Amino acid sequence: MPFDDHDGAAERCPICGQDDCGMDTMCIHSPPGTAVVFLDDNGYDAEREEAAKILTKGQRYEVRDVDVDSWYSNVILEGVPGSFNTVMFGRSTS
């Protein structure tokens, strides 16, 4: 769902500037150093189960890189082995 500034106009993503970048998950255009939060939600069950073995729900992590494909995107986190489906992460509010 796009941002909504309550007057019906879509607001632009503060990270990528696009107006179709939803606030429910992390922006796939997040540069290195961007803080994200593990939601332990969305994605496939097996992906979440594997991620939950390493990550803590609600904890902030730092983006090292994002690999965007045409149908799928993975985030690589600083200091954490592996990569994870970006839909399992939200934007950090702090």
Question: Each residue of 9-50: pLDDT tens digit?
Answer: 567 777 777 776 666 788 888 899 999 999 999 999 999 999
Cα distance between residue 60 and residue 38, in whole Å: 7
Mean local confidence (pLDDT), 65-89: 93
Specify if 63 maps to a domain: yes
Residues β-bridged to residue 59:
none
Q: What gap in Å lies between CA 61 and CA 92, rounded to an integer?
A: 9
The answer as to whether 10 is a domain residue is no
Domain tally, the chain:
1
- Structural domain contains residue 14: no
Report residue 83 CA to chain centroid gap: 12
Q: Band of the pLDDT at 87, cuts 50, 70, 90?
A: very high
> What pLDDT does 23 receive?
64
Q: pTM here?
A: 0.80
Q: What is the mean pLDDT of the chain?
A: 85
Q: Most distant CA pair in the chain: distance in Å?
A: 43
- R_g over Cα of the chain: 13
Determine, yes or no, domain membership for 65. yes
Any domain includes 18: no
Q: Place 69 in a pLDDT band, splitting at 50, 70 and 90.
A: confident
User: 77 lies in which domain range?
Assistant: 24-91
